[in-house]
A = this chain, B = another copy of it.
Amino acid sequence: MYLCPMYSKELLKGTLSTIILKLLENNEKMYGYQITQEVKELSDEKILIKEGSLYPALHKLKDDGLIEVETVNIGKRIRRYYFLTKKGTKVKDEKISEIKSFMNTLNKILSFHIKIQLT
């Protein structure tokens, strides 16, 4: 599994945990593998989250009290469902606002033109 065949690796930094929190808002509870597939589909295959990125991120969100976990046995295989805590819901909203504001600012800078037409 590869990350971001289209996007530089650094771009996702600072946004991965927010993406995870957002998906949990929409889906109420999800397990790790499901999250990778959902992001893959929503991003049109442009964001491919690797296990080495996802699981540490999930564990950190858990440690920070933003999500809770529920372990379920599916046959002989385990599955860990994650869902938002109250704190997680709050932080999610804040992080989304922050990213959107940042994107607006960035878009403004990257679209800025000084093109003086001398006629």
Contact = CB atoms under 8 A, between A and B. Distances in A.
A106 B113 contact: no
A64 B99 CA distance: 29
Contacts of A47: 105, 109
A26 B101 contact: no
A63 interface: no
A86 interface: no
A42 B109 CA distance: 6
Number of copies of this protein chain within its complex: 2
Interface in A1-60: 6-15, 18-19, 22-23, 26-27, 39, 42-44, 46-47
Interface string A102-113: 110111111011
Interface residues of A, number: 39
Overall SS of chain A's interface: helix
A70 interface: no
Contacts of A19: 106, 109-110
B14 A10 contact: yes
Nearest to A15: B106
